[in-house]
């Protein structure tokens, strides 16, 4: 806040600058999913810190059915798409992986999705 309050030598119009505090989400959102690797099924759970999830929460939190609206987006709409996670860690917690972004391209038909081997 202090750094934002300090003017810059190159500011043309100080009134156009505005300070914005980000509101902390009152909930943590997690994805639970399973992966099959070498024929073995393994379950995972990772915290979702994607800005889109936070924006969705702030858009629907005033409604009494906000949880249903949130679930509808992540369970129903995304079920028709392939879900890809961009994951990362934080310097202080290098072994704790977070979902920093969710990508959801449309599902490809099975015959298109199977890629030929390069070698």
- Separation of alpha carbons 114 and 48, rounded Å: 29
Which pLDDT score, from 0 to 100, does residue 16 have? 55
56-114 residue pLDDT tens: 999 999 999 999 988 888 888 887 888 889 999 989 999 999 999 999 887 777 666 56
- Separation of alpha carbons 84 and 56, rounded Å: 18
User: What is the CA 9 to chain-centroid distance, rounded?
Assistant: 37
| For residue 34, pLDDT beyond 80 | yes
- Separation of alpha carbons 92 and 36, rounded Å: 30
């Amino acid at each position: 806040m202090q750094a934002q309050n300090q003017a810059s030598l190159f500011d043309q119009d100080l009134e156009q600058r505005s300070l914005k505090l980000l509101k902390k989400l009152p909930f943590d959102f997690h994805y639970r999913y399973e992966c099959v690797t070498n024929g073995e099924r393994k379950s995972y759970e990772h915290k979702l810190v994607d800005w889109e999830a936070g924006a969705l929460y702030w858009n629907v939190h005033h409604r009494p059915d906000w949880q249903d609206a949130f679930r509808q987006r992540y369970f129903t709409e995304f079920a028709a798409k392939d879900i890809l996670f961009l994951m990362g860690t934080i310097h202080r917690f290098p072994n704790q992986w977070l979902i920093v972004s969710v990508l959801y391209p449309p599902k490809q038909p099975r015959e298109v999705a199977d890629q030929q081997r390069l070698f």
